[in-house]
Chains A and B, each alone.
Chain A
Amino acid sequence: MAHEEKKLKLYSYWRSSCSCRIRIALNLKGLEYQYIPVNLLKGEQFTSEFQMVNPIGYVPVLVDGEIIVSDSLAIFMYLEEKYPQHPLLPSDLQKKAINFQAANIVCSSIQPLQNLAVLKYIEEKVSPDEKIPWAKLHIEKGFEALEKLLKDHAGRYATGDEVFMADLFLAPQIHAGIKRFNVDMAKFPLLSRLNEAYSELPQFQNAMPENQPDAPSA
């Protein structure tokens, strides 16, 4: 009997918010995938096996047959084009632009300033006590920007009453902010409300870090 391999493979780390974005996208589009864990704390991104898939050593990486896509933004755009069911970008150009802007605030202004490498650096060069305040500062700055940006556009979700790209990038960042960095969400009423809405969606919740195969058992 032939062993049927799932066509899509996702190299992921349970806690990686970038990986979480894609896990949500795959869930929303109803796409099954094989979850391949890469333990960033143990340096598994530097194994020769993983380097062959992504020489730069980042997760997530999506493998779709012969196509290999790294970087959550690139993977998101690839999925959106290849698997158009449950579209994650609105067709209206203004709304679409707001989605790109919100996503980019997360992936350029927030996440890179609180990823493992930067936190390690702050811990070593400044002090271990500065790690959390540093991350908190940048997350809160980004959240303030997002509150302003989405104020006139949000509905039930970030840019209206349907889930779009902005929600996929926001949800993991809000989750990380709360669980790991003591962000005071009372300052961010809109994002708090959105977070509540995400907590009701199984496609979001199933993608969250604690529900991944490689999450440490409680």
Chain B
Amino acid sequence: MAAKDGREVSSKLVLYSFWQSSCAWRVRFALNLKGLSYEYKAVDLTKGEQFTPEFEKLNPLHFVPVLVDGDIVVSDSFAILMYLEEKYPQRALLPADPQRKALNLQAASIVSSSIQPLHMMSILKYLEEKIGPQERFLFGQTNIEKGFFALEKLLKDLAGKYATGDEVSMADVFIAPQIAISAERFKIDMSTFPILSRIYDSQKALREFIAASPEKQPDAVN
């Protein structure tokens, strides 16, 4: 079918993604949880494919993930997740209860604002240049631990099998990829975070999470 601007659009969801992007992982995880099938379009960030004119038209900020749903183009994992939550309300990821909903959004914010931005490649590279590789590692590690401590406090009275109870919710969608990616890379001692360790055990067993993981993506490289 044709979009308003003449583009050929699929009647299906299309996700522009890079296998290793933790932000894309969040969205892949949520799409699986909602039972939404989608076409996977790989954007190889290592080869600069985010700068092609075709991709630039979709997202002038050159980030993945980008979701295309007919005429609608949504960039930024948080914006995509809020869009999916409203357009496809099955398997709701945000509880109806205002207090619990707020706690989910707070957990998501801790990951996407307090943890992930502080260990981005560009930041770490700067620290390595200005101070040294040792400091680069320490900075990443310190900020991840700080964020994980915050999450432990936040989830203390809330966590069940998953982050905010016995059902998977938005908090899990943000937390699970973050733990998966950073715990190993920055040698985090997860035994210091008993709640996160426990919920991560549940999260990583979910088939929706496993199917969303980097190594299972079409563009994964071994």
Binding site for B on A (CB under 8 A): 55-56, 67-71, 73-75, 77-78, 81-82, 93-94, 96-98, 100-101, 104-105, 107-109, 111-113, 118, 121, 125-126, 130, 145, 148-149, 151
A77 touches B105 (CB 8 A): yes
Q: Chain B residues near A93 (CB, 8 Å)?
A: 72, 83, 86-87
Can you give 22 contacting A-B residue pairs, CB < 8 Å? A55-B154, A67-B99, A67-B102, A69-B99, A69-B102, A71-B109, A74-B103, A77-B105, A81-B101, A94-B72, A97-B72, A97-B75, A97-B83, A100-B82, A100-B83, A104-B76, A104-B112, A107-B109, A108-B116, A108-B117, A112-B118, A145-B61
Q: Which residue of A lies closest to B138 (CB)?
A: A125
B61 touches A148 (CB 8 A): yes
Instruction: Confirm or deny: B11 has a beta carbon within 8 angstroms of a beta carbon on chain A.
Output: no
Q: Chain A residues near B73 (CB, 8 Å)?
A: 94
Q: Chain A residues near B60 (CB, 8 Å)?
A: 148-149, 151
Binding site for A on B (CB under 8 A): 60-61, 71-76, 78-80, 82-83, 86-87, 98-99, 101-103, 105-106, 108-110, 112-114, 116-118, 123, 130-131, 135, 139, 150, 153-154
Q: Chain A residues near B99 (CB, 8 Å)?
A: 67-69
B113 touches A77 (CB 8 A): no
A149 touches B61 (CB 8 A): yes
Number of A-B contacts (CB under 8 A): 103
Q: Chain A residues near B116 (CB, 8 Å)?
A: 108
Contact of A126 among B87, B117, B131 (CB under 8 A): B131
B98 touches A73 (CB 8 A): no
Which of A68, A78, A107, A108 has its CB near the most chain B CB atoms (within 10 A)? A108
A100 touches B114 (CB 8 A): no
Considering the complex of A and B, which 6 residue pairs feature the smallest CB-CB distances, nearest first? Answer: A100-B79, A74-B105, A71-B106, A101-B76, A148-B60, A69-B102
Q: Chain B residues near A98 (CB, 8 Å)?
A: 79
Given contacts A69-B99, A93-B86, A108-B116, 7 further A-B contacts (CB under 8 A): A71-B110, A97-B80, A105-B76, A108-B78, A113-B117, A149-B61, A151-B60
Contact of B98 among A81, A96, A125 (CB under 8 A): A81
Q: Complex Cα distance A107/B111, Å?
A: 11
Q: Complex Cα distance A145/B118, Å?
A: 18
B106 touches A100 (CB 8 A): no
Q: Chain B residues near A94 (CB, 8 Å)?
A: 71-74
B106 touches A108 (CB 8 A): no
Using A67-B98, A118-B118 as known contacts, say yes or no to A111 and B113 having CB atoms under 8 A apart: yes
Interchain nearest-CB distance for B82 vs A (Å)? 5
Q: Chain A residues near B74 (CB, 8 Å)?
A: 94, 97, 101
Q: Which residue of A lies closest to B79 (CB)?
A: A100
Q: Complex Cα distance A94/B71, Å?
A: 9
Q: Chain B residues near A118 (CB, 8 Å)?
A: 118
